[in-house]
Amino acid sequence: MQKSQLISLVAVFASLNIILDSLMGLPELSSGVWFSWIFISEPITGIILGPYAGFLATLIGVMIGNCIYFRGPYEFLFTLGAPVGTMFSGFLFRKEWKASLTYFTVLLTIYFITPISWQLPLWGMWDTYLAYVALIFAIMLIVKLKLWKLQSKGLIHTVALCTFIGLEADVLFRIFVFIPCQTYRLFYDYGVEALQSIWVLGAVETPIKVAMSIIVTAIVGPPLIVVLRKMNFLSE
């Protein structure tokens, strides 16, 4: 991809991310990780643009989007999870799995050695654990079985898996900032009971949003990738 083409795509996806991050999410799903619709666009941004350009496009989107739909000053920190999720969707799609495995392993380990995590429902992060298992499965497909499909046939499964793991990388970043970094106490002065309620609600609402993004990305992603490849905007 030429530099001018890449800049054009970054601008397009940054604009898309600004729009989606400026829109209030569903009131019925207000206690999950994301307050806006950024979860819809962040995985496909990384898949199309790659980990670094995708990170930049999503970072621009959430920084501007949070200014338009202001959710408080602390959200500028937590929303950094969105470009992180974009980056790991991009890494995995391009078969660069080592960074993803290191990231999930280190952050989950730090979470579990944080004392207050022992008082929270273990099943409250079931989707993140499933993403870790899915990542190991993806690594087996890439390294052992050589079955990572980047062509038209089977592309939908690859895109869906990258979406799931990327979004859960976003979730894990926000959990890391919230629990091990002690912002639950420093920013919000939450006690254990409040955190337990958040974990219970998040265990239901966050996976619903992840499922919504997987469906959208699986529908839109493969045709878009095929078109961009034909236009020489994206390599095989």
The encoded tokens of residue 79 equal 């929303």
Using CA atoms, how far apart are residues 72 and 62, in angstroms rounded to an integer?
13
Question: Are 18 and 11 within 8 A, CB to CB?
Answer: no
For residue 153, what are the β-bridge partners?
Answer: none
Tell me the per-residue pLDDT of 1-19, one tens digit each, with 9 for 90 and over. Answer: 678 888 999 999 999 999 9
Q: CA dihedral in degrees (130, 134, 137, 139; nearest 10)?
A: -130
pLDDT, position 169: 98
Q: 151 pLDDT exceeds 80?
A: no
Q: 124 pLDDT exceeds 90?
A: yes
Tell me the per-residue pLDDT of 23-68, one tens digit each, with 9 for 90 and over. Answer: 998 776 666 689 999 999 999 999 999 999 999 999 999 999 999 9
Q: 229 pLDDT exceeds 70?
A: yes
Tell me the per-residue pLDDT of 96-116, one tens digit each, with 9 for 90 and over. Answer: 999 999 999 999 999 999 999
Residue among 167, 168, 150 at smallest CA distance from 159: 150
pLDDT, position 233: 77
Using CA atoms, how far apart are residues 165 and 136, in angstroms rounded to an integer?
10
83 vs 28: which has the higher pLDDT: 83
Give me the chain's average pLDDT, please: 93
212 vs 154: which has the higher pLDDT: 212
Q: Strands (DSSP E) along 6-164, which ranges? A: none
pLDDT, position 230: 86
The encoded tokens of residue 17 equal 């991310």
The encoded tokens of residue 7 equal 């800049």
pLDDT, position 149: 74
Q: 122 pLDDT exceeds 90?
A: yes
> What is the 3-state composition of the chain as percent helix, strand, coil, each rounded to the nearest 5?
75, 0, 25
For residue 173, what are the β-bridge partners?
Answer: none
pLDDT, position 153: 75
State the CB neighbour count (10 A cutoff) for residue 137: 12
**Residue 150 one-letter amino acid:** L
First-last CA distance in the chain: 11
Q: 234 pLDDT exceeds 80?
A: no
Angle at CA of residue 124, ends 54 and 37, nearest 5°:
35
Q: 176 pLDDT exceeds 90?
A: yes
Question: Are 43 and 216 within 8 A, CB to CB?
Answer: no
